[in-house]
Structure 1
Amino acid sequence: MSILIWIVVGLIAGVLAKAIMPGSRDEPGGWLGTIALGIVGAVIGGFLSSLVLGGGGANGLNLGSILVSVVGACVLIGILRMIRR
């Protein structure tokens, strides 16, 4: 994927993950934090997708990539919240 597509998918996935798992106001945010959350979520989601489904992952600007990225971002939010406690 090109860098621009990573940024767009990261932004969409980050916004959706933050909407699914809303947190407190003291969590870091902003556009860059949301994009980073989505991009790291895409990497985590792609890894989990390859383990569970045996293939596929975040591979372009499509619904499947966004869903995989959102799941990965939600997993990342959950892990970060467990670490903070």
Structure 2
Amino acid sequence: MVIFLLSNRLPVPVGFWPFNVSLSLPFGAVVLAGLLLGFFVGLLAHLPKRISASRRANRAEKRVAELEGKLAATPLNTIR
């Protein structure tokens, strides 16, 4: 990545559409910014599913602990 950034230092114009602003930035920095932006958009898109799965796993672990406690409380000769 460092080699790519250092070998692509030529400035390219970058415009921001709704605003009449244009900057001249190194090409490597523009590509890196695009990659980082895509990473964070993907992270934000994945976050709700990750939170949901984590909550579901926590509930399942609590249920397993509850059932293990019930199983430990029953006498061994009643389990068939």
Same fold judged by TM-score > 0.5?
Answer: no
Bigger relative contact order, structure 1 or 2, given CA contacts below 8 A and separation 6+?
1
More helix by share: 1
Q: Highest CA radius of gyration, 1 or 2?
A: 2
> TM-score, length-normalised on structure 2?
0.31
> TM-score, length-normalised on structure 1?
0.30
